[in-house]
Amino acid sequence: MPKVVSRKFNQKTERPSKEKKDEKAAASASAASAASRAFGPLFNKDLGQHILKNPLVAQGIVDKAYLRPTDTVLEIGPGTGNLTVKILEKCKKVVAVEMDPRLAAELQKRVHGTPDQKKLEIMIGDFMKAKLPYFDVCISNTPYQISSVLVFKLLEHRPVFRSSVLMFQREFALRLVAKPGDSLYCRLSVNVQLFAKVEHIMKVGKNNFRPPPQVESSVVRMEPRNPPPPVDFKEWDGLMRILFVRKNKTLSANFKTDSVMEMLETNYKTYCATHDMMMEDPLDMKAKVQGVLIKVGMAEERAAKMDQDDYLKLLAAFNEEGIHFC
């Protein structure tokens, strides 16, 4: 009998203990769910959803956009609208492109029944696949994984817009504004600065976002050059790819690799054939390329310290000799 009593006693004490644990876990889950609802929708980090929560930073971004009452503003990734509502106060219309339907619904609710409702148009979908409407200014708390392609899509947009104020990962932003001789000066710096004036306007710490990203951020203002420079971008970028593979090497060294010579020789033969030009026989492509570098006085120059005028002069000299990069 003592064994039976002992067994029954254990069963009676163990069951309430397990039930209490289950109840505690359920209560905890319920509290977490309530907290989540209180703070809005759950954010998808895979989509780069880090919502700017500091109203002072949001206001600073809008102020730096120098908006006019007649402006149409394109906002990329509006999230729950912390920036959007401040932009709407300053302009005629906002076109907001949001990939996540949940956040688009939150934004729609936020302006519903207010005078700003008629000024806001929401496009749900992938910005990179969207056909962009006319806009005067672009403002974006950019999903960092699309930073580079976003910049070039904006620069390709026609008609040319007045300016953009864009949030990026700190290092990416510093690459955009880097100058010759800076450690971060790279192909991205040169390509963007060919088509736009870029300046760093604000640092933004990670704690200004919800959820906080793992990196610090910066805001830049980008003003496209209007009219755009008369440069074939594919040609330009083909040259930059060669120069910045080893930016601290001399141009002469960068142009001596077999892969570069093979590409340039193929392009040269195609150019001669399509333009009824007599081709040298035998063709010494290395000597031809080195001759151009010596002619413009850049054989011993390094891409890391060259500026836009240097690159334009070099590209023109190559093209005059029928040497092309795409």
On whether the CB atoms of residues 138 and 196 are closer than 8 A, the answer is no
The one-letter amino acid at 247: K
Residue 79 assigned ligand-binding role = no
Angle between the 285-295 and 308-320 helix axes, to the nearest 10 degrees? 130
Residue 166 assigned ligand-binding role = no
- Please state, in angstroms and as integers, the Cα–Cα distance from residue 231 to each residue in 104, 235, 243, 313, following that order: 39, 8, 17, 12
On whether the CB atoms of residues 220 and 203 are closer than 8 A, the answer is no
Residue 251 assigned ligand-binding role = no
The Cα–Cα gap between 3 and 11 comes to: 12
Cis check: omega of the bond before 115, within 30 degrees of 0: no
Residue 126 assigned ligand-binding role = yes
Contacts of 307 by beta carbon, 8 Å cutoff, 6+ apart: 180
On whether the CB atoms of residues 127 and 150 are closer than 8 A, the answer is yes
Residue 50 assigned ligand-binding role = yes
What DSSP string describes 178-206? --TT-TT--HHHHHHHHHEEEEEEEEE-G
On whether the CB atoms of residues 242 and 252 are closer than 8 A, the answer is no
The Cα–Cα gap between 7 and 230 comes to: 91
Residue 98 assigned ligand-binding role = yes
Binding site, annotated residues for S-adenosyl-L-methionine:
50, 52, 77, 98, 126, 141
Binding site, annotated residues:
50, 52, 77, 98, 126, 141
